[in-house]
Amino acid sequence: MIVASIVVSAAAYGWGLLRAARARRRFPAWAPPCFALGLAVLPAALLGPLDDLSDSFLSWHMLQHLLLVGVVAPLLLLGAPVRLALATLPKPAATGLARLLGSRVVRFVSNPVVAWLQFAFVLYGTHFSPLYEAALENESIHAWEHVSYLVSGMIFWTPLLAVAPAPHAPPHPVRLLAIFMAIPMSAFLGFTFYVERHALYPHYALRPGAVEDQMNAGAVMWLAGGIPLFVALLCLVADWAARERRRDAAYEGAGT
C-alpha cells in the first residue's frame, strides 16, 4: 500500500511536470526536488530497518514519527503539488480545486491557531491514550496512526510554509509566533517521556532497558523534534528580511 501510494504520487507529479513544461508554465525549480525527497524519506521511515527497530524500541518509533511530521510533511508541501495541479488539471477540475481552496472549511483548517491546535490534539491524544498501545499491537490501527501524523503534520505546516497557492497565508510575524509556540509543544512531550521512570506502554515494558529506551525516546522528541522548527524559523526570518529588502528597493526606485 505504501509503495503503491508513492508510485502513484510520483507518477501524477511527473505527469503534471510534463504538462507544465509543454504548456511553458512557470514552476519553482526547487519544488520537484523537495517533493522527490519527501517521497524518498517516506518509505525510509515506514519500511525496512527503521520500521523493524520501531517495533522493539520506542526511541526508534519516535524517530519514525518525527520523520513523518517534521521531514516528509513539509517537503511534500514545498513540492507545491496543489500549485502544479491548478496549472495542469483540465479547466473544470482546476476550477473546482480553486473553489475548494477558497472554501470556509479550508480557510478554517489553514488558520494557524486551528492548525496548531489540531496538531497538538493528534500528538498528545495518540501518545497519552490507549490508541498508542493499540497501534503497536494492530497493524491496521498502526497504519491509520501514521496517516494521521502525516495529514496532521501537513495541516500544521501549511500556514507556516505558505507555499502558493496557500489560502490566506498569514503574515510573517504570525507564522513566527506559531513556530515559537510549537517548539515547547514538542519539547514538553519529550520531557514527559524523559522524566517518567516506568514504562508507559506495555508493548515495550517487558523488553530489556525499557525505561532507558523511553528516556532516549524523550530525548529524541525533545532535541531532534525541534530541528525542523528551528530550520523553518531561520528560513522564515531570511524570507521576511529578503521581502523587506525588495520592498525598500521598490520604494526607492519609485521615488527616483
Distance CA 182, CA 187 (A): 9
Question: What's the grid cell of residue 70?
Answer: 517534521
Check residue 168 and give its pLDDT: 66
Check residue 239 and give its pLDDT: 84
Distance CA 140, CA 186 (A): 26
DSSP assigned state of 166 = -
Check residue 14 and give its pLDDT: 94
Check residue 254 and give its pLDDT: 63
Angle, helix 112-127 to helix 130-137, in steps of 10 degrees: 70
Tell me the pLDDT of the chain (256 aa) as tens digits. Answer: 788 989 999 999 999 999 999 888 888 899 999 999 999 999 999 988 888 898 889 999 999 999 999 999 999 999 999 999 998 999 899 999 989 888 888 889 888 899 999 999 999 999 998 989 999 889 899 989 999 999 999 999 998 888 877 656 788 888 888 888 888 888 888 888 988 888 889 999 888 889 999 999 999 888 888 889 889 889 888 888 888 887 777 666 665 5
Check residue 150 and give its pLDDT: 95
Check residue 33 and give its pLDDT: 96
Distance CA 127, CA 41 (A): 23
The residue type of 221 is M
Check residue 256 and give its pLDDT: 56
Distance CA 128, CA 125 (A): 6
Distance CA 99, CA 86 (A): 11
Asked if 120 contacts 185 with a C-beta cutoff of 8 angstroms, the reply is yes
CA distances to 52, 157, 186, 225 from 60, rounded to whole Å, are: 9, 23, 16, 13
CA distances to 81, 134, 184, 194, 234 from 208, rounded to whole Å, are: 44, 21, 30, 17, 40
Question: What's the grid cell of residue 209?
Answer: 532497558
Task: Identify which of 94, 70, 244, 240 has the alpha carbon closest to the alpha carbon of residue 165.
Answer: 94
Does the pTM surpass 0.95? The reply is no
Asked if 47 contacts 2 with a C-beta cutoff of 8 angstroms, the reply is yes
